[in-house]
Amino acid sequence: MKVLRIIRWVLGSAILLPGVAAVLVAAIFGARFPAMRLWCCFALWVFGIKAVRHGPPPPPGSFVAMNHLNYFDPIVSGALCPAKFIAKKEIAGWMVAGWVARAGGTIFIDRTSARSSHGSIDDISQTLKKGERIVVFAEGGIRGTPKEVAPFMPMLFTSALRVGAPVVPASLRYYVGECHGQACHWEEGSLTDHLFGKFLAADSIKVEVRFGEPIAISEGETRKTLSVRARDEVQRLLEMGEG
């Protein structure tokens, strides 16, 4: 079975990489999201990951705040909730991941430059105004654990607060077989060790995505209070999957 899985990975990857170019062409004709969703669904099949959605998909123009556990998180989200992503600027220069991120219309933030960050916030605001979803892994990296959501970065919520976009909490939860957390990349070890040591060895991998109700913006809300409320809602959704 492991040999067959490796063959599927190799052959599937040979299709996925040129598929990124197809997504870029589709974006020119206004079909970025359908093309990206198809690409993400195929990627999940190649790597043997079953994605299950709980709750209705966020409405157009939503700011979706998620926890972050694994390098497959954007692909899982892209398959279930097509959207533009927010990512750190460094990812733009990565091989493969950077290409895919650009094809998906990712908005990159340079966290070392206040001027650049303000420009990115403007881009996010305009995207939300157009009725397009934004998905952000609001912990600012893989900082939490399978059971505990790390604090969210307040700056990321600036655009949602500025334009009054619905803020939708969403939780990610991975399983290898029936064991929660084993597919998460929060433990020690390199990405390669994790990919081949856990994903390749797994008989089944499932990820659950739970979407909550939009968070009502309170009078006098600040990006700090909104980030805390969003984090608490994601934690609540994560705990709903226990049992």
pLDDT tens per residue, the chain (243 residues)?
577 777 887 888 889 988 988 998 998 899 999 999 999 999 999 988 899 999 999 999 999 999 998 888 999 999 999 899 998 888 888 877 888 888 889 999 886 665 667 778 899 999 999 999 999 999 988 888 888 999 999 999 999 999 999 999 999 998 876 555 555 655 555 556 666 666 666 667 889 999 999 998 888 899 999 999 999 999 999 998 765
Look up the pTM and report it: 0.88
**CATH number for position 230:** 3.40.1130
Q: Give the chain's domain count.
A: 1
For residue 96, the model assigns a pLDDT of 78
Distance CA 42, CA 33 (A): 14
Enclosing domain of residue 192: 2-240
* C-alpha torsion sign, points 63, 95, 30, 22: negative
For residue 192, the model assigns a pLDDT of 62
Q: Which residues contact 178 (CB under 8 A, 6 or more apart)?
A: none
